[in-house]
Chain A
Amino acid sequence: MSSDAVNGAGANPVMGNTLGGDNYLTHGRGLKSWLFTLDHKRIGVMYLVSILSSFLLGGVFALLVRTKLLTPGNSAMMSADQYNQMFTLHGAVMIFLFVIPGIPAALGNFVLPLMLGAKDVAFPRLNLASYYMWVTGAVMALVSMTTGAVDTGWTFYTPYSTTTNTSVIMMVAGVFVLGFSSIFTGLNFVVTIHKLRPAGMSWFKMPLFLWGLYGTAIIQIMATPVLGITLLLLIAERALGVGIFDPALGGDPVLFQHFFWFYSHPAVYIMILPAMGVISELVSVFSRKHIFGYTFIALSSIAIAVISFLVWGHHMFVAGQSNLASMIFSALTFMVAIPSAVKVFNWIATMYKGSIWLATPMVYVLSFLFLFGIGGLTGLFLGALATDVHLHDTYFVVAHFHYVMFGGTVIAFLGGLHYWWPKMFGRMYSDRWGRIAALLIFVGFNTTFFTQFVMGSHGAPRRSYHYLPEFQRYHQLSTLGSYILGIGFVIVAANLIHSLFRGRPAPANPWGGATLEWRTTSPPPHDNFATTPVAGDPYDVEAWRYDRTIGGFVPRAAGDAPAAG
């Protein structure tokens, strides 16, 4: 369909499109109607814009770091100190401003009440407060960048962080505030899932994305306060000279690592659990098949949330903790791998005998399975004590982390974004460009990070401004990959932004999803649903059939059984 023919198309009730008519985007006009909105959808969109801006900022830092690493020695581009600030800011921005709030606060906020057939989250004001906490924390982080950007690494290890002369206090205070944003979102989601499920939606009839968000929310509520306390102690030591972590003041530097990772390891699962939830939705819809092994996938989310609290010590295998502690943490670390493996096998089984549609979101699913597969399996090298000692703090860890966080979370985020985009904005983007971008990101990512596995197992330490010339070829390949990655993201952005203006109006259910958000119009009205939908099996995708005239899916009429293939 040419874009001219549809550009400016008005509301089309037949296909369930409300562009030009009344929807949440047109309900209330002007800046104030956005800034003071209590609508979870608008808050979700504001989060989306904010975290994508953070992603852009973090991405620019990453490209600068990679560009410096084209050569092993000093660089006219940046000094060693500036390099140290760059990689710290890349990590801090990506972790605290983008990945942690990414899927839950942006996509989750938009989708969660819709999936429940509800009008909003349980506490809309808390939801808005959470957003403004995020904004406050982000502003503090930005201020810290202009007043002597931190150079501690995103982990703020003591005693370095209490002795360096950069603005650690401002950055750490920003992260502290961001933590509250995260706690508020988690609290809101837990209550919403407990109290606002519709009639017919028992716990085990919930979409798996909600299980993912629920597991995430539990971690956010229970682990984030520990980070808050740790950061306050760090500020107390820096500002007041209270000896807690610095041995010069009678403290213990390794204590900081225990406190920090008690939050930050579960936080890794804050980042990956919602991503797994997204994949569970997408793999079923785009295979036109019921999810395989619902109960195992749902319970594995909870298993991950629980075990994730018990593995933090694997960050200290070489920090001098006792052999006994290392043994226990190694064993528990291997146990947390199992629920993830179960999910992967169940997703693959979902594709078996399906009708697989390689639309953009599904391309991201395949990319996820490939990359997260590598990310998960390389975790085995790091969980085993003998090999971890060699690989710890090298590029191998950097690569593993990015395969999980980027290959896992970011790829799932992109899949989810392309999946819910038509619902959010009522427009379809170009599927062809969507797939081209997904492919470029896949190629660019592997080029960037697979090389880092090899460098790492040869001993190249991470966070290094200088490196030995023998690694230069690998660094150059890695940098080339990062540029391909950057081009992929430019195409994603162009494609999505273009769709906002010239995209084909989206039908209510463009992909054939059986969860409740597809039962309302695209974009949804302010109150989400004209009539409260009745929840059924969220994976009964076969109850929908493709209707060529509207370019989307409609409920199958009675007696119109799916053609068994």
Chain B
Amino acid sequence: MSLGHDILDRLFSWAAIQTDGTFWMPVQASAGAEPVDRVFSFIFWVSVFFFVLIVALMVAFVVRYRRRPGREDAEDSAHHSTALELTWTLIPIAIVVFIFAWGFKVYLDLNTPPANSYEILVTGQKWKWLFTYPNGHVDENLHVPLDTPVRLVMTSEDVIHGFYIPAFRLKRDVVPGRYVKVWFRAIKPGEYQIYCTQYCGTGHSDMWAKVVVHEPGGFERWLDEASNFLKTMSPAEAGEKLYRTRGCAQCHSVDGTGGTGPTFRALFGHPVPLEGGKTVTADEDYIRESILDPQAKIVLGFQPVMPTFQGRLKDQEITAIIEYVKTVK
């Protein structure tokens, strides 16, 4: 960054939002951040120049030409000057054409992913992000290897969301019914914030996640371990993870609030009234059947809208979910 920014940083260090960023910008954690910040910096100093010019002239004129006794009237001066006016039309045109061209070039570079990028699927839904890795593992945070081009293929399950990583200077709306692609190359290990920037309702401002940039070798280790969570976690813990990442949480609450489906709270071991007047006790077999053949028994007051998870969840995963449901008191 330029000398000017260093001075600003020192002047405003008391006000800095993040210690590792500058007064204006967050930390540069992707290869794309620096070129963007250079454009920002240029526009910033152009703006400072013109702003100071305008305000200085304004203040100087007010001081010098203020109305006072003996100065009731204006002095004679030109009503227009085509040369002058053309000057302050053409110079700004030249400057903005330059800014436009630079801004476009950097934008294009950042929109052209290199071949052989590592691909991760991103799903936006009210109100969280899910990241699906090539081996099928689904996580709530984005984990990426250092210095590797990563391509995100993103879609939304409901309304428009906005995927944003400030530290990467990366943002794109995630639109239902479409796949949008962005890419980045992380250059600094650490954890950075992910936001939703397209307003999407009640939990819009809770749609936070982290992007974790791993040191060389760390990403592979993490993915290995994370994918094997059925082996490393207790069944109930693993079940909770599946509950959050495999779509259960969208319809079934765990705190008793209503949803598209019945809540899991105080479900296990309790009688469940069904459509048609029968009652069934929620045991392991009932839950397993409800996952694999949801239309077999419809709970009273609910619509038969749940899709089957036959082939989408392994036996071990279903068992883990049942163990989790048991813990939801």
Contact surface of A with B, Cβ cutoff 8 Å: 80-81, 84, 151-153, 157, 159-160, 163-164, 247-248, 252-254, 287-296, 318-320, 323, 326-327, 330-331, 334-335, 337-338, 341-342, 344-346, 348-349, 351-358, 366, 369-370, 373-374, 377-378, 380-381, 383-390, 392-394, 454-455, 457-459, 461-468, 470-471, 473-474, 539, 542, 545-546, 562-565
Query: B54 — which chain A residues lie within 8 A by C-beta?
Result: 344, 348, 369-370, 373
Of the A-B pairs whose beta carbons lie under 8 Å apart in the complex, a sample of 19, sorted by A's number, is A80-B202, A80-B205, A287-B74, A296-B80, A323-B111, A330-B103, A334-B100, A338-B92, A346-B85, A348-B61, A352-B65, A353-B76, A354-B65, A356-B67, A384-B100, A393-B164, A457-B24, A471-B17, A565-B75
Query: A287 — which chain B residues lie within 8 A by C-beta?
Result: 65, 74
Task: Name the contact of A341 in the complex, choosing from B44, B92, B160, B175 (C-beta under 8 A).
Answer: B92
Q: Other than the known A289-B77, A341-B88, A390-B171, what 10 A-B pairs have Cβ atoms closer than 8 Å?
A: A253-B159, A288-B67, A330-B103, A341-B89, A356-B61, A377-B46, A381-B47, A393-B164, A463-B204, A464-B204
Query: B133 — which chain A residues lie within 8 A by C-beta?
Result: none
Give residues of chain B (191-209) contacting chain A, Cβ–Cβ below 8 Å: 193, 195-206
Task: Name the contact of A468 in the complex, choosing from B96, B110, B193 (C-beta under 8 A).
Answer: B193
CB pair B77–A352 under 8 Å, yes or no, is yes
CB pair B65–A247 under 8 Å, yes or no, is no
Nearest A residue to B68 via CB reads A355
Task: Name the contact of A351 in the complex, choosing from B46, B65, B72 (C-beta under 8 A).
Answer: B65
Q: How far is the CB of B186 from chain A (nearest CB, A)?
A: 16
A254 and B18 CA atoms in complex are apart in Å by: 35
For chain B, the count of residues having a C-beta within 8 Å of the partner chain is 87
Q: How far is the CB of A537 from chain B (nearest CB, A)?
A: 9
3 closest residue pairs by CB, A with B: A459-B166, A384-B103, A247-B177
A353 and B66 CA atoms in complex are apart in Å by: 9
A389 and B79 CA atoms in complex are apart in Å by: 43
CB pair B169–A389 under 8 Å, yes or no, is yes
The A interface, classified by DSSP as helix, strand, loop or mixed, is helix
CB pair A386–B110 under 8 Å, yes or no, is yes
Q: Is B11 an interface residue (CB 8 A)?
A: no
Of B35, B46, B162, chain A has the most CB atoms within 10 Å of the CB of B162
CB pair B173–A320 under 8 Å, yes or no, is yes
Of A323, A327, A357, A458, chain B has the most CB atoms within 10 Å of the CB of A458
Nearest B residue to A561 via CB reads B73
Query: B270 — which chain A residues lie within 8 A by C-beta?
Result: none
CB pair A564–B73 under 8 Å, yes or no, is yes
Query: B97 — which chain A residues lie within 8 A by C-beta?
Result: 334
CB pair A461–B196 under 8 Å, yes or no, is yes
CB pair B96–A160 under 8 Å, yes or no, is no
Contact surface of B with A, Cβ cutoff 8 Å: 15, 17-18, 21, 23-26, 35-36, 39-40, 43-44, 46-47, 50-51, 54-55, 57-58, 61-62, 65-67, 71-81, 84-85, 88-89, 92-93, 96-97, 99-100, 102-108, 110-111, 158-160, 162, 164, 166-167, 169-173, 175-178, 180, 193, 195-206
Nearest B residue to A246 via CB reads B176
A123 and B206 CA atoms in complex are apart in Å by: 52
CB pair A542–B172 under 8 Å, yes or no, is no
CB pair A356–B178 under 8 Å, yes or no, is no
Task: Name the contact of A320 in the complex, choosing from B23, B36, B93, B172 (C-beta under 8 A).
Answer: B172
A458-B166, A461-B197, A565-B73 given as contacts; is B96 within 8 A of A385 (CB)?
A: no
Nearest B residue to A359 via CB reads B67
A32 and B81 CA atoms in complex are apart in Å by: 53
CB pair A351–B108 under 8 Å, yes or no, is no
Query: A157 — which chain B residues lie within 8 A by C-beta?
Result: 160, 198-199
Query: A386 — which chain B residues lie within 8 A by C-beta?
Result: 35-36, 39, 102-107, 110
A288 and B43 CA atoms in complex are apart in Å by: 36
A151-B201, A338-B89, A348-B61 given as contacts; is B18 within 8 A of A294 (CB)?
A: no
Nearest A residue to B19 via CB reads A470
Query: A337 — which chain B residues lie within 8 A by C-beta?
Result: 92, 96
Nearest B residue to A345 via CB reads B88
Query: A562 — which chain B residues lie within 8 A by C-beta?
Result: 73-74
A470 and B65 CA atoms in complex are apart in Å by: 46
CB pair A327–B164 under 8 Å, yes or no, is no
CB pair B71–A296 under 8 Å, yes or no, is no
A373-B55, A383-B100 given as contacts; is B176 within 8 A of A247 (CB)?
A: yes
CB pair A320–B180 under 8 Å, yes or no, is yes
Query: A345 — which chain B residues lie within 8 A by C-beta?
Result: 85, 88
